[in-house]
Structure formats: C-alpha cells, structure tokens
Structure 1
Amino acid sequence: MSVRFRIGAVALVAASALLLTACTGTTSETRTGGSDRATGTASPAVDGAAQRRAVTALGPVTKTTAGAMRLADGLVPPTNRWFSGLVYGAAPQPVFPTPISWQVTDDGFAAGLPVVSATEKTIAGGAVQQVGLDLGADRTLVSAYDQVSVTVEHRKGSTVLGHTVLAQGSPLVSYTAESAQTVTATGTVTGTADGPDGTTTGTIAADGRTWGVVTTGDVDGSGVRLAAGGSVVLFPVPDDATTKQLRALSAAAASPLTEVTMTRSSTGTASDGQQRTALGYRTAAAGKTLIVPQPGQGTTGLSCTGLHYATITGDAPVCIGAVLRIAAPSLPAADRLDLSGLTSAQRATLVDQVRTDAGGVSEASFGADSYGGGKDLYRVANLYRLATQLDLDDVASGLRRQLVSQIDQWTDPEGCGVSGTRCFAYDDTVKGLVGQAPSFGSDEFNDHHFHYGYLLSAAAIVADGSDDLVAKWKPVLDLVAADIASPEATKSFPELRVYDPYAQHSWASGYSPFADGNNQESSSEAVSAWNGLARWGQVSGSRATEQLGDWLLANEAASAQRDVLDPDLRTFPGFQHTVVSLNWGGKRDHATWFSADPAAPAGIELIPMPAVAADYVAAGGKQQIGRVLDEAVPEGDYAVQFGDYLLMYRALASGSQATAALAVARDLPAEDIDTGNTRSYLLAWIMSHE
C-alpha cells in the first residue's frame, strides 16, 4: 500500500470477462478522456454489462471503508490518484498538480509554487499558500476528472458558485464562475492591462513569489467582478521572467483549462520500439496553453520559453503548446530466465536446488491475504518455471497441481465459496475488488497493483499453453486486471486506477490521506505488475490487454530508472543518497514505510526481480550499482532483508561481480531470502547473468 510496515503477505484477484478492442500492425493507438470524463460511462471498447454480471457473481464486500466522499453523483470514485485526498477523508488534503500545490480553504482555495529544499534524506516541496480566491464557499466536491486533470466544484450550501480545474503538468489554476459574482483575491492585482480576447492581465505578489492573473472580469484592487461564465486564471511567474515573457505567458494562460485528453500508442516492436503518450491540454478557447514537462520527458512539439520552475524532480521547462508528448522505450514483457548458457556444473547445482525447494512446498506454503498470498504464488510459479526449463517433469507436475489448486480458489467466479479468504468480493461503492484477508490497507485500495500483479504473473506462468486453464481463470483474472488497469472508465471500474500518465508512474495509496499528496514506494513491484498484466494478455490471447501492459511497463520502468534507481540529483546537493525510494506529490524520501535498515530503500526498488528487470534496473551501469550497494550493504554483508535481491542486482554490474554474488548467494541464510523468492531462482538469476 502506501503504508508498508513489513514485507510478506499474499495473493489476490476477482471476477469477470473484460472484452477489449484489439489493435493490429506496427502502430496502435488508443484514445481516452473526452466524453467519458464527467459521466464515467463505458465506451464500446469494454463490455460493461459483462463486467457487471461478473462482479455481481463475486458478491459484495461486507462493508466499504470509503466513508463520506466529496464527489458528484455518477462519478466512479477516484482512488489512487494524485487528487484522491480531495475526495476522501474528513477534510480535503492539499494536492500537487506539478509544478504547483493547491488546497481548499475555508472560503475558497489557495495555490503556491512550492519552495524546494533538500536535506540528507528528503527533497521537499510541500504545499504553500501564496495566492488564492475568497469565493464565499463553504464546501467543495470533485465534479469531473480524467487521467490528468480534476474539476473541483465550489458551493455555498446547495448553490454552485463555480469550478476550478487543475492538471498535472499545468501551472494554471482556472476558476470559472457559475453565476455573476465578485471574488476576492488574497492580494491586490497590480499592473493591470488589457490582455487577449477582452481579458485583463495583472500580477499578485505574496511571500516572495509573483503570480500572473488573467481574467474576463473587472478588477478593482483585490476584487474581481465576474459575469456568469467569467473566469480567473492564476499562474506562478517563473524566476527571471522579463516583461515580454510575462506577456507571452499571460497570453498562453488567458483561456481556462477544461480537461486533458490522453492518447497512447506504440511504434516498432516490443524490443526496439517506443510506447508513446500524448496528453492534450484543452482550454475553453481550444488554443495553446502553458505546459510544464517533467525533467527528462522532453519537449517535442512544444515552444519553450527558456524559463523554468523549480520542482522536486529538478528544474522543469515552461513551454507553450497544446500537447505534451512522452516516449518511453518499449520493454519486452518476460518471465523466463535464459538458462542456455549454464555450464553442466551450474545446471546440476540448480537441479538439486530446485528439487530441494520444491520439497518444501505444501498447502501451508500459501498465505490468504492478497499480498503475501500473491507473493507465495509468484515464488512457487517461478520455481515451477525453472523445473520445466530443467526438464524436471516430476517436480514440475507436483508444483503445477498445487498452483492450480491455489489459483482455482482465487479465481472462483462465485467469490468466496471455496476458500472463504483466498478470494475477492466487490466494493460497489469504490468500484473495485478487495481480497477478503486485507493486508497493508488493501481494503482501502492501497497497493492493489502490487498485490494483484503477483497473481497475474503467477497465473500467466502456470496457464501458459493451457487453453483449459485460461478459460477457467479468465473471467476473474480479467476483473483483477480491470481493477488495476481498466483501459476505460466503466460502471464497474475507473480508468487506469493507479497509473498517472503525466508522472509516468503509479500511486499506491487508495484514499491518499496525506498532506504531502499521494505516494508510491515500490516502483519495482509496480513494474512487475505491468509485466504480469502484459504476460497475462499474451497467455490469455487478449492483444489489447497485452498492449496496455506493454505501455504501462515501459513507462513505469522509465520512471523507475529516471526518478528512483539512477536519479539526477545534481540540483539537490543537500540530498546525500543514491536512491529515492519513496516518492510523494510534495516530496521525495530516502526511506521506507517499514524499515530503517540501510538495505531497505534499495531493496524495495528491486523486489521481486522478474526476468524483465534485467532490462531496466541496471540504470547507471556498474558505477551506479556500486554506489547503491555501498550504501545498502556498507559492510558487504548480504544477510539482511532483501539481501537476495541486492545480490541479483550486483550480478548485473559485470561478469566478475556476478561470480562473486553467486558465491555469497549459495550460503545466504534461508531467513534472508524473501518470501517471494527461492534460493533456486536466486541462483538461476545470477547464473544467467554471469
């Protein structure tokens, strides 16, 4: 979840047939957002009726954990979003639509450009109140959202006063009045002048920061008189902006932001292509606007001003355009180690170890919660895969029988009729599947992608080549996939529940009850989840699921490389670590939820090291791997939590490092091998990279 106190729990999943539209050829494209934004209705790409029948068959949760929500009727509740804190909890939390912060106040809202600072373990950019509007409001609710933007409705009693639109990658705070009214800014609007299309421009200065103001209303000091449909747009003026640049920024900000559409596409092949994302920033006037890519995302098709905003990921360029285009190199989904290069001695060692590990697998080996149980299934599935690769038919058949028995329970189409705990029920309030033995707040929709990714990965390994198993498990596993990554919003599931296409990574907290925004700790388990999704798509014959998994896998891995495993920290000299292991909307930490051990921050970014991990975790090469390990295991002692994964990571540095890692791995204490791993897989991984 967003809160992890320990590592080790259980598997997951739930029920339905998700029918997706397949794409063919070397380029595929899927558009989302737009007309589905406010209603959450299904498009023809998803059979929503089939989903409803399947989730109804699972049965309902005993009680939802959501509580009261500040959400308009008809919307699918948005868990795991950068703005979820606006919807759930006793009071709205601050949110962080990069590059700004925004929060609800007693009578309106306040925004700020966070002041970024760095200490030994934290890069901080918390919420600040530099500018805002007094609307006379006494409550808010989320009235519309898409994958990138959110619309907040301001009310006084039952009267709607107006709406504010915020979006990741936009510095704009766009307020539009529902009826004629006068709003009061938190400071005097100075330097007013005629702007484009009958607007008035000016600035507000507060706390050492200047904000630009563009409005269709009449300005009088701090008061702005708006007609119905009138607007006030606020944006932070970048440092060192000239008068000419400010005019250009004001012109680009003149029209209120209304929504952000998303198109995803792929080019080339899985091994040498790209996974592309186009985010269309739509304004009321349908023109260009201000867009702020994250450092490292590129500025293709944008006209950049040469100005920057300081953010917690570095200095971000301030650009003008209509579409932010993001490209990530494709990463072929994989769950099979290459053992072709093993020597006869290595093969003999591995055969003995697989037999030993398989002998310890029993009914008691599998947990009942959706994290630990999922890891248990994943561990045994990888052992089964190794047995098949080593032609150990007797071992493989025994492991397969146990895995099928366990996955049958998780994929019971009638819910908890078989096991009572290794199963899913449907939360019709929050619109999602919940394992019946909650772990790490999974009943609050924390960490669903971490949990359910293990089940999808294990099922893909076991069902590979078996039409019978695919047919039996597909109804529920497709629901599991839809819970974490529905390609569109339906009446049963939100679109892409956990993934943020602007941030290029997922958010782990379901309800996000934090003043620092949402967060994600284990980028590696997120990558593993999308690898499992893509593999399930391949095995089940769903090209659309496979393509969605490929897109998520490539982008999450790109973010993990850039922001977590090999981050550019030159802007933050006060930060004294090599890995950023806990990423929030408003800060970045070298820390974990569950341990102060120096091995934990690196280890949680490696677990569970699927075969695909070799293609991205070695970001930075031998030098970065060495720096990370020097920090994680300063005494060279791998008998620590995640010591197994750190040894696998070490093996990627060079052949000699792999040989050294293998020698340690042979005698690593059993208690220091993670519950999602076996000594067999640990040795096989290192041998395959020696």
Structure 2
Amino acid sequence: MASRPIPGLFALFVAIALPVPEAPAQQPVPVGRGSYASAPPPRLMVDPKRNVDLVDEVETRRLYLVRDDGAPVPSNAWYQNLIFQQYGTGLWAMPHKVDATPEGIEIFQATSFSGDGQRAVAEFPLVVSGPSFKPIDSRAKAWTDWTVAFRMFESDARYMDVTLGEGMPAVWCEFTGVRPSIAFGGPHGKGSRSKDAPAFFDLAGKPAALPVTGDALGILHAGRAWGVFAPDGTTFAADAGGVAVGFPARDAFLVICPLPDAASIARFRRTAFAVPRDTRLSWTYDRAAGTLTTTWKIVAEPLKGGGRAVLQGWLPHHWRDNIAPLALDGPVYTTIRGPLKCAAGDTFILRHPFQGILPNLPAPQTGGGFDAGRVAALLKEHFADPSRRLGADTYWGGKDLQRYAQAAFIAAQLKDASAEPIARKLRAELEDWFTWTPGEQDRFFAYYPRRKGLVGFKASYGSEHFTDQHFHYGYFVYAAGLLGPLQPDFAAGFGEMARCVARTYANYDRADARFPFFRTFDLWRGHSFADGNGFPDGNNQESTGEAVNSWAGMILLGEALGDPELTAAGVMGYTFESRAGLEYWFDPHGDVFPAAYPHEACGMIWSNGIVWGTWFTASPAWIYGIQWVPTAPHASFYDRDRAFIRRAYAGAVREQEAFEEREAAKAKKPRKPADIRSLGGELASYHLGFLLHADPAWVVEQIDRLWAEPGDKVAHDPWMANVYYLAHALKGLGRVDWACHGGSPTSTVYVNETTKTRTLVAWNPSAKEQAVPFFEGAKPIGTLRVPPRAIASMPAASR
C-alpha cells in the first residue's frame, strides 16, 4: 500500500519560464504489439478545488535549470527540491546539509539528533555569501550518478557554482564576479546569525588569529569544526563578525569541509582541491560466482595542484557485506544512516553476494499436511472468474496483476484446472494496460514529452507526478515476467512494452534518452526515493518491500525475455535495496538508529530522519507490515540473519499491543486484540508472509487454526492462497542456505535444518532446457537440469 500527499559526463542543463506549448495531440506509439499514448490525456485528472489539470501541471511546471536542452530531468532525487523551488533546500549530501537562500548558501554539520531520535539536527550553519551578493534563485546546473552542481544566480556576471556529492564531506564553491564572505548562522539558519563568536586554527590544529594568508583556515563554531580551503595566497580577514575572503588572482574558489575535529584539517587538505565533475557507477553480475561487482568511478578536476583523489564516504549497506578490498582508513562520521566511513580515491570496487531469487516454489510435499483442494478452492473462487474486474489504477491494479500472476504459477504447479483461465485473465488485463486505444480513460500508459517518463492511468497516490512509480510499476513488471513462460507469445508481443515500463522507474541504459537514468533509485544511498517532487527537507520512502519487489520483477522479466542487461540491472538494485531496507528501516546490527530512538523499526525514512509512522496510519501493525509487502520468495533476504525475523516480529507484536492499550484508554473502550485474526486478510498475509521465511511450520499452524473457525475471513481471504502455498513449500524445503548459490539468477539453495538436507531449486523461463550448476562457495554441489519454462528441484548432499 502507498499513500502520498500530492503536493556519461555531466549533463548540462535555465531557470526561465519557457512558453508553454499547446498539448500535443495523442497518438499511439507502437511498442511490439503493445503501445502507449504519445502525450498525457487532457483533463483526465483535475483538482476540483483549483480547477487545475494535475497532469498538465506536471508537464508545464517551472524547472530551475541553468540550461534546458530537452534531456531527461531527474525526479525522486535527494536534491529534487533544487529543481522545483526558487531556493533549493534540504540538500542532505551526507554527512552535511546545504540550503540555498537569498544571500547564498548555508552549510550545516549535523552533530546531534532530536530528543526522540527521529531527526538529524541541522543548526548553526556556515553561511557562504558575498558583499551585496543577492542571488535571485538556485538553478540545477549538472548532475551525475551521485553528485549535483547548482548555480546561485544573480546575473550572468555574478554567480556562485556549488558542487555536492553524496558521502563526500566537502562543498565546492566556485565564484564568478563575487568576492565571498563567511558568516555564522544561528540555531536554525534561515538568514539568522549566531551570538557565539568563532575561533580559528591552522593546519596543525593550533589556535590562529585573523587575518590569515594561505590556502587553508580552520574554524570552530558552536561545537563544530570546519576546514576552509582556497587558492594559494588567499587572505581571510575579520569582517563584521564573519570572515572576508580575498583571492590573490583569477582563481576564485572555496572548499568547505565539515571536520570530525580540528586535528583532521591537514588530512582533508590532501583531497579537498579535487572537485568531482563526473561520477559513474557500473556493475557486473557474475552468474557462476554468484556475486555483484560494482565499480564507482569519480572524475575530478584539480582546482589546485594535481591531486584527483576525492574523500568518499560509505554507509553500512556498502561495507557490511562487501567482500572486495576497501580501505576505509579515513574519517568516520555519525549520521542518521549509521557510521559513514571514508576512503580517498577516484575508483572504488565493491563486491556483494547474490544467492538468487525465485518467482515462487515447487509444489509442496503432499505428506506434510498440505491441502491442495483448499488452494484450488481459493483459486477458483477468487481468480478463475473471467468477468472479475481488477483495479483500474496503477497501484491497486498492479497489486492485482501480481497476485494473479502468483495464482497462475501456483495453479500450474498443482496442475489445477484453474491454471489456464487465470493465465488468460492475467494476459487480457496486461495486454489492456500495455495497449493504448484513442479515447481510453483507464488501463493505459502515456508519455510525458517534457518530463520524459511513462505514466499509467488511472494514476494514484501522486504517480501522475512520478511519486511511488517503482511501487506501482514493479507489480506490472513482475506479473509480465511470470506470465511470459506461461504464455510465450505474450512475451514475444508485449515483452518490449513491459521492459519500457521497467525503464520508466529504473532506466539502466544511459543511451535511452526517453527516461532519466534510474529515476526512483538513489545509486549511492542504495534505496529508492518515493516522491517525485521532493520536500523542503529532502525526500522519503516508506515501503521497502515494494521497492525490492520492483527489482525482483526486473530480474524475472529479464530472464523471461533473455535480456541479460535487464537482469543485471535488477540484480544490482535488488542487492543494494534489500540491504539498505534492512539497515535503515530495521537496524538489525544496532549501529544505525540513534540511541534515543525507542523503536526497533521505522515506517519511513527521510533524507534527514526516520519516522515511527506511515502516510496512512499510526498502527504498528502497518508500520511493520508495509515493509513486508508483498509476499514472495525473494523476501527471503530478511532471513540472512537467522534471528532477525523472530526478533522483528516479536517487536511488532509488542508495539501493537501497546498501541491498542493506548487507543482503548483514549476511547474508554475494551482493548482490541493484537493477533493475526485482528489484522484482516490482506495485512495478515503480509505478517505471515514475513514469518514464513523463518518459521513456516508456525505459519501453517496459524492458517489451519483460522481456517477451521466458523466464519473465518482471514485464512479464507484470497491474499492467503499464496501464503499458504509458500509456507507449506518452505516447511519441506527449509530456509535459504546463504553459503550456497546457483549459476542462474533464478535459483536458490534451501536447507532443512531438521533433516540437514539441501535442496537445489531453479526456474527456467526459456524455451530450452538449462543445466544449472550449484556451489557452496567455489565447491560444486550439484547440477540441476531444468526443463523449458519450468521450475525444478533436486536434493543435494547434506550440509
């Protein structure tokens, strides 16, 4: 579920109000046998209070750019506010934040957290401005994979260009026609001034007095240490409580670094002068080794000297499971995402294990109490009726598509009579969505020519302005990936349209100018951002489960289409987002959440914080549950730490019981129960779908108990068909054996910890038999021959 308020080299990009062209006439754009509309539909989504066409508003919105050359403009970025607002704020580059203001920029070093542990506190900034410098706005100048540059623009003759990089503890400021000054902001910035006097120090960390001449100045203010670096011979002089900066020649720049302490200033000087002009991530998925290797390349320009190494920080999802050499010998910062560990260089290589995913599992063993008739009844009642209408918006419609795809897969495994009707229904629905016919009002996609993106209609929860698109469209991609092997001519005719939908939220092809590069995914942070507009304090994401699901869908679709690039992009996103989701929403290792935060999970994260809540409810059952959406085998990543699932679920139960106690006290009514029955079918399916990766036998017991109760509406709910099937399958297979992997991205090794037996499982969506090798580390443990368009399993040697 989602609910949101509607509120290469550098690609050089004018904050000018361009004349708005008339809306182009819609024409079908053929994609294989499918199609999309060439332009958004007029007046399909209108805000009745303002009488504003919401779709047209997105396309005609003013963009603050240095140059608009028609190239794709990012959405859902950590710096999104910069593109849409006169003065971009909430630019949390980590470990610092930058706000653009009418006098210049404010640079904040967050050294503490709020009393409830939910927010990094930004206060007492350094203010970089200049005498009589009055920028009229901030304009995005350039962006690369994890940097952004913007211009504080007063006129063509007077401006300041600012470069920020995620995880790079520096702010590079380059001046044209501006003689800079540094002032000391008050508790909350926003143009205020501090009452505390600063102190200064030299490269040895010893006290210094202004004026100072040289290429470096240390500043202590409000408990924060800063390093300011400049051209040789720069003068720093006291001026009205601040610092006036005088450059000796044409070079005019300042590099301002938040320092862990005064003693580290000399260390920072070694890398400060290298300004990143380009950053580029590349990735390689090694099927045989079961690893993802990512190469992080920084192209820097020396502002002084010849050094090109940059100080780059890395978060827990980078270094925790990294198996490649990475010398994290630089400074360490405490951030809202845990320890940010730094290393100097221009190229970094990370390597992470990828043990594979599966679309579903082979049919459960018949001797373990599995009732195939129960599943058949649920399939017939809820999925086999061709007249049943699925959701008409992209969120609920998308969820229905994936549920039907899972139902079709299960029915095929059980050789149930409903298999063909369900697959036909799924196909009809997907083909409807993947084809635009003039005059249609729902179930189609349209292209935004200016903003460069596909949007499905009916849109919902802000998806018309690119909010939540990975949540919504990941379901479409997943469903198409599962349907392809069941209906091969569907993949041949509509596979390219499904690939197009995947690229609108995760365009992995830099040469494809139809879409921005990875629209919703933050490559460095390792997780997606959900909002297409941004907020004054950055961006946010709620449902990690649906984000990970969008990558799983890409892996499945890539394999179904025989597209290794699509598969590899899905593996990259899945590898990072599954780790980031665990680290930053659950803190399983205890080194991420601030000590004052009283919970074991959060419902969403923001650029500067974590939130105990969701967009739609304060119930802990949903705060946890929204992370466990949807139920599928690829969610097994929660079980990498064998103790985590039980620990997390116990926390969810404790929180829900306390919540119900408070709600009952407020309403002066008896407390509602906090058990599986009380959750209802959908939410119960997410809770049990999470637990089945650690204790499938217990999940089966709960479902059986509920099924036997008169009038049960939980176990009999259609959401439970998949949960019941998976729980029984895992009851026999056991849990993922993380020491092993298969030579296919759609393969997994399971180990039954009672019998100590391993089972090799692989899915082959291709038209030819595949021989999939399996390994424990580098040691072969078996080869599984998988028939065409089938899933197969075989036992392996005991562990």
TMscore range, shorter length: 0.7 to 0.9
Write the letter of the residue equivalent to 1:398: P
**Residue 685 (str. 1) matches residue 726 (str. 2):** yes
Match of 1:250 among 269, 275, 278: 269
- Preserved contact between residue 481 and residue 533 of structure 1 (Cα < 8 Å): yes
Q: Pairwise mapping of residues 84-483 of structure 1 onto structure 2 (< 5 A)? A: 84-89=80-85, 91-117=87-113, 119-120=115-116, 122-135=117-130, 136=133, 137-159=135-157, 161-177=159-175, 179-187=176-184, 190-191=200-201, 200-216=215-231, 218-221=234-237, 222-226=243-247, 227-239=249-261, 241-242=262-263, 245-269=264-288, 273-285=290-302, 287-298=308-319, 303-305=327-329, 307-343=331-367, 345-358=369-382, 361-392=385-416, 394-412=417-435, 415-417=436-438, 419-464=440-485, 466-483=487-504
Write the letter of the residue equivalent to 1:452: Y
Q: Deviations for 1:485-528, whole angstroms, at most 9, x for unmatched residues?
A: 1113443111111111211111111111x232111111110111
Match of 1:538 in 2: 559
Match of 2:675 among 629, 637, 643: 637
Distance 2:170 2:2 in 1: 28
| Secondary structure, counterpart of 2:118 in structure 1 | strand
Distance 2:121 2:317 in 1: 22
Q: Deviations for 1:350-371, whole angstroms, at most 9, x for unmatched residues?
A: 4433444346744443111111
Match of 1:28 in 2: none
- Preserved contact between residue 64 and residue 427 of structure 1 (Cα < 8 Å): no
| Secondary structure, counterpart of 1:256 in structure 2 | strand
Query: How far off is 1:549 after superposition?
Result: 0.9
Match of 2:38 among 56, 59, 67: 59
Distance 2:655 2:437 in 1: 42
How has the CA–CA distance of structure 1 residues 351 and 311 changed in structure 2, closer, same or farther, with 3 Å as cutoff?
closer
Structure having the higher strand fraction is 2
Write the letter of the residue equivalent to 1:263: S
Unpaired stretches in structure 2, ≥5 consecutive residues: 14-27, 43-55, 185-197, 206-212, 238-242, 658-672, 732-799
Query: How far off is 1:591 after superposition?
Result: 1.4
Q: Deviations for 1:201-237, whole angstroms, at most 9, x for unmatched residues?
A: 1123332212100011622321223454532100111
Match of 2:538 in 1: 517
Query: How far off is 1:116 after superposition?
Result: 3.1
Match of 1:70 in 2: 64
- Preserved contact between residue 331 and residue 550 of structure 1 (Cα < 8 Å): no
**Residue 38 (str. 1) matches residue 12 (str. 2):** yes
- Preserved contact between residue 603 and residue 645 of structure 1 (Cα < 8 Å): yes
Query: How far off is 1:307 after superposition?
Result: 3.5
Write the letter of the residue equivalent to 2:270: A
Match of 1:502 in 2: 524
- Preserved contact between residue 488 and residue 494 of structure 1 (Cα < 8 Å): no
- Preserved contact between residue 5 and residue 595 of structure 1 (Cα < 8 Å): no
- Preserved contact between residue 360 and residue 726 of structure 2 (Cα < 8 Å): no
- Preserved contact between residue 2 and residue 520 of structure 1 (Cα < 8 Å): no
**Residue 605 (str. 1) matches residue 624 (str. 2):** no
Distance 1:596 1:358 in 2: 31
| Secondary structure, counterpart of 2:628 in structure 1 | coil
How has the CA–CA distance of structure 1 residues 479 and 234 changed in structure 2, closer, same or farther, with 3 Å as cutoff?
same
Larger Rg: 2
| Secondary structure, counterpart of 2:627 in structure 1 | coil
Taking CA–CA contacts closer than 8 Å with sequence separation of 6 or more, which of the two structures ends up with the larger relative contact order? 1
Q: Among the aligned pairs, what percent are the same residue?
A: 22
How has the CA–CA distance of structure 1 residues 551 and 486 changed in structure 2, closer, same or farther, with 3 Å as cutoff?
same
Distance 1:531 1:467 in 2: 20
- Preserved contact between residue 330 and residue 344 of structure 2 (Cα < 8 Å): no
Distance 1:230 1:673 in 2: 69
- Preserved contact between residue 665 and residue 683 of structure 1 (Cα < 8 Å): no
Distance 1:119 1:673 in 2: 42
Query: How far off is 1:627 after superposition?
Result: 2.8
Match of 1:582 among 585, 604, 610: 604
Match of 1:19 in 2: none
- Preserved contact between residue 284 and residue 293 of structure 2 (Cα < 8 Å): yes
- Preserved contact between residue 301 and residue 321 of structure 1 (Cα < 8 Å): no
How has the CA–CA distance of structure 1 residues 531 and 664 changed in structure 2, closer, same or farther, with 3 Å as cutoff?
farther
How has the CA–CA distance of structure 1 residues 334 and 304 changed in structure 2, closer, same or farther, with 3 Å as cutoff?
closer
Match of 1:9 in 2: none
- Preserved contact between residue 172 and residue 257 of structure 1 (Cα < 8 Å): no
How has the CA–CA distance of structure 1 residues 656 and 374 changed in structure 2, closer, same or farther, with 3 Å as cutoff?
closer
Distance 1:119 1:365 in 2: 49
TM-score, normalised to structure 2's length? 0.74
| Secondary structure, counterpart of 2:284 in structure 1 | strand
Query: How far off is 1:189 after superposition?
Result: 8.7
Write the letter of the residue equivalent to 1:106: P
- Preserved contact between residue 110 and residue 130 of structure 1 (Cα < 8 Å): yes
TM-score, normalised to structure 1's length? 0.85
Query: How far off is 1:417 after superposition?
Result: 3.4
- Preserved contact between residue 304 and residue 317 of structure 1 (Cα < 8 Å): yes
Distance 2:452 2:167 in 1: 27
How has the CA–CA distance of structure 1 residues 308 and 351 changed in structure 2, closer, same or farther, with 3 Å as cutoff?
closer
Unpaired stretches in structure 1, ≥5 consecutive residues: 7-32, 40-50
Q: Tell me whether 156-165 or 448-457 shows the greater mean CA deviation.
A: 156-165
| Secondary structure, counterpart of 1:604 in structure 2 | helix
Write the letter of the residue equivalent to 2:722: Y
Q: Tell me whether 86-95 or 138-147 shows the greater mean CA deviation.
A: 86-95
Distance 2:301 2:222 in 1: 31
